[in-house]
Chain A
Amino acid sequence: MSDFDPVGPNGTNWHPGLRESYIFDRNTIHEIRRAASQGIYDIRGFGAKRKLPHFDDLLFLGASMSRYPLEGYRERCGTDVVLGTRHSKNQIHLKIPITIAGMSFGALSGPAKEALGRGATMAGTSTTTGDGGMTEEERGHSEILVYQLLPSRYGMNPDDLRRADAIEVVVGQGAKPGGGGMLLGQKISDRVAEMRNLPKGIDQRSACRHPDWTGPDDLEIKIEEIREITDWQKPIYVKIGASRPYYDTQLAVKAGADVIVLDGMQGGTAATQEVFIEHVGLPTLACIRQAVQALQEMGMHREVQLIVSGGIRNGADAAKALALGADAVSIGVAAMIALGDNDPAYAEEYAKIGSAAGFYDDWHEGKDPTGISTQDPELAARFDPEQGGRRLNNYLKTMTLEVQTLARAAGKSHVHNLEPEDLVALTIEAAAMARVPLAGTEWIPGHTAANGW
């Protein structure tokens, strides 16, 4: 009998005497070989794939002798969220505390954008444009649409500002705080080129800084201009990549934000350098309490709403983010998967492009077999926006039920009543980042009587 195991890792023969390096593991070796062959950094979509402290490192305590649970199917547990209560004449009313993050037309196909609008609308929440302007598909199918103002300003115009329900000034993105967008030539179709005013087929690099303002004092003036153009009717969000969340939150509030969107490093992207995705920014878990602290110190917690994104996968993640002080969460990668991205039904086609269902992240190449992250009309035609919308609606409602389940177990009649006291951490790192006790102890690393949290 041979010592080689025919069903070893990755389907290769394996021998117990072959020890894989922890440092130079097979992914590392592959990347070195790829870089040596191609001479350019790896670009991909998705979010950070490395292991990071995350919501799985937290647990809810639930109710017991001193906390009374709510009946799971009988007692009300509210999930509604009102955004934009600070300066705007109009507010955003969501039925659920989960929104759809900005994903561009260009990165996604027109039918995929339509499906996001359909699903979000069915579930009673908002969707968001992205770095490519506003399409009729998403405006027409989104009851609540947030229009992003990005450094590139592709397609920016006052008419779309006015027909948006809210405006999101994008300062940064969790997948790449300090970096601009990318859309490679395979996805710059005629329509995308026209919307972005670019030559067809080029590798588009968006600016990382806004062209007409620099720094928080300028941003305050920029926000005033947008409010004037829209007659102060639209809530204005400021989206920041998790980098220095305490200070960035305070500066965004000072600049006049109605809502802050805080995107952790697990947040998705359509196309970014791998080195950026995996090595820049803070894990989502590490930034929420800092932002909440900043809001609380300014007397703005719940007055300026906080939306947290970056690796939110299920109701447990959402509930934990809410318990740490967020008003809502936002999903991007998870929404794409709900639509059908990485569907095992396309296993053979993933194999043809050198990938596999569950691993596919080359969204920038425009070859997505599911027709979601592509501008290829034949691939895009595979995707049914009505069915996709229903799937997203199902997923959003499931997540919401999960949040309610956990909130009721903690005795909360509204998901916003969840609080850090409901949580413990499984690791010292998570305890320090989330500022909740290590499970079975009263120890919060970093907590002192002086710092007050």
Chain B
Amino acid sequence: MATATDSEVVDLAVTPLRELNQRLHDAATGGPRSWRIVNPNGAHAIAVGIDAEIDVTIAGHTGYYAAGMNKHATVTIEGNAGVGVGENIMSGRIHVKGNASQACAATGRGGLVVVDGNASSRCGISMKGVEIVVKGDIGHMSGFMAQSGTLVVCGDAGDALGDSIYETHIYVRGSVQGLGADCIEKELKEFHREELGRLLAAAGADATVDEFRRYGSARQLYTFTIDNAGAY
């Protein structure tokens, strides 16, 4: 039997997903503080809805929505993550050591999501406060309707970056294939340098602030006017 200081190992090859997630939910009221999930085999909805300051390591690839709606927990995925990893994350930290599929951290409201590899399309779509650091590239339509929070891309960004963006800060080190409607390059002010530096350090990214350019909202589509009809 594991103690509070040991890592509780759960083998998804033999343990039903429902049982695993129930135990992780029960961690809100006690039990092991460190968990290691083996044989995830790309299952969906692994470690979703945690509300506890626990460490969870998933030893392998995950399917859709890994660590969705996470609160407080630190979740590490030692592999690739499927669609919507960390969707609607509230707080805590999610670290994908491989690549992430589309809609990474979609609608996230807080916390930090780090992707060591690349993230696919719609990274940070509709994000609402989450901080995202992708050490590789991101795909098209990333930051679509991004409301707030920060998206850092150490590689390149695909087409239509930040389409219909609100107040999210986007930093890209590499090239941007194209900007979406109402997204423009903006000045990297001291506040932004501090924010970017903090996130690069938090993510352990091998990059310097001066290499990045900032993108954000031109705020031209915030109200309906016929003069903007071509952009709607």
Q: How many A-B residue pairs have CB under 8 A?
A: 102
On whether the beta carbons of B48 and A153 are closer than 8 Å, the reply is no
- Counting chain A residues whose Cβ lies within 8 A of the other chain, the interface size class is 20 to 34
B107 CB–A CB distance under 8 Å: yes
Report A-chain residues with C-beta under 8 Å of the C-beta of B18. 228, 232
Interface 9-residue window, one of A105-113, A210-218, A445-453:
A210-218
Question: In the docked arrangement, what's the CA distance between A69 and B173, Å?
Answer: 77
Question: Which among B106, B167, B224 has the greatest number of chain A C-beta atoms within 10 A?
Answer: B224
- Per DSSP, chain B at the interface is loop
User: Quick one: which of A40, A203, A207, A225 contacts B145, CB cutoff 8 A?
Assistant: A207
Report A-chain residues with C-beta under 8 Å of the C-beta of B22. 231
Question: In the docked arrangement, what's the CA distance between A156 and B147, Å?
Answer: 14
Whole-angstrom distance from the CB of B230 to the nearest CB of chain A?
13
B120 CB–A CB distance under 8 Å: no
Give 1 or 0 for each of A34-56: 1 = CB within 8 Å of chain B CB.
00001110000000000000000
Whole-angstrom distance from the CB of A205 to the nearest CB of chain B?
7
Whole-angstrom distance from the CB of A315 to the nearest CB of chain B?
40
On whether the beta carbons of A212 and B107 are closer than 8 Å, the reply is yes
For chain A, residues 353 to 398, give those with C-beta under 8 angstroms from any C-beta of chain B.
none
Report A-chain residues with C-beta under 8 Å of the C-beta of B64. 213, 218, 221-222, 225
On whether the beta carbons of B49 and A211 are closer than 8 Å, the reply is no
A13 CB–B CB distance under 8 Å: no
Known: A205-B164, A225-B65, A228-B21. A156 touches B88 (CB 8 A): yes
On whether the beta carbons of A212 and B45 are closer than 8 Å, the reply is no
On whether the beta carbons of A212 and B90 are closer than 8 Å, the reply is no
On whether the beta carbons of B44 and A211 are closer than 8 Å, the reply is no
Report B-chain residues with C-beta under 8 Å of the C-beta of A153. 88, 107, 126, 128
Report A-chain residues with C-beta under 8 Å of the C-beta of B69. 157-158, 161, 229
Question: In the docked arrangement, what's the CA distance between A44 and B82, Å?
Answer: 40
Chain A residue with the shortest CB-CB distance to B82: A221
Question: In the docked arrangement, what's the CA distance between A154 and B166, Å?
Answer: 14
Question: In the docked arrangement, what's the CA distance between A334 and B109, Å?
Answer: 35
Give 1 or 0 for each of A134-168: 1 = CB within 8 Å of chain B CB.
00000000000000000011001110010000000
Report A-chain residues with C-beta under 8 Å of the C-beta of B126. 152-153, 207, 211
Whole-angstrom distance from the CB of A212 to the nearest CB of chain B?
4
Question: In the docked arrangement, what's the CA distance between A221 and B144, Å?
Answer: 22
Report A-chain residues with C-beta under 8 Å of the C-beta of B128. 153, 197
Whole-angstrom distance from the CB of B45 to the nearest CB of chain A?
4
Report A-chain residues with C-beta under 8 Å of the C-beta of B144. 207, 211
User: Quick one: which of A152, A185, A221 contacts B44, CB cutoff 8 A?
Assistant: A221
Known: A153-B128, A221-B63, A231-B22. A212 touches B109 (CB 8 A): no
On whether the beta carbons of A198 and B166 are closer than 8 Å, the reply is yes
Known: A203-B222, A229-B69. A213 touches B84 (CB 8 A): yes
User: Quick one: which of A152, A202, A230 contacts B222, CB cutoff 8 A?
Assistant: A202
Whole-angstrom distance from the CB of A215 to the nearest CB of chain B?
12
Report B-chain residues with C-beta under 8 Å of the C-beta of A228. 17-18, 21, 45, 48-49
On whether the beta carbons of B49 and A230 are closer than 8 Å, the reply is yes
Report A-chain residues with C-beta under 8 Å of the C-beta of B139. none
Report A-chain residues with C-beta under 8 Å of the C-beta of B71. 158
**What 5 A-B pairs come out closest when comparing CB atoms?**
A229-B49, A39-B226, A212-B84, A202-B222, A153-B107
A-B contact pairs, 26 of them (CB 8 A): A153-B88, A156-B107, A157-B109, A158-B69, A158-B71, A158-B90, A185-B223, A197-B129, A197-B148, A199-B166, A199-B167, A207-B126, A207-B145, A211-B103, A211-B126, A212-B87, A213-B64, A213-B83, A218-B83, A221-B63, A221-B64, A224-B45, A228-B45, A229-B49, A229-B69, A230-B49
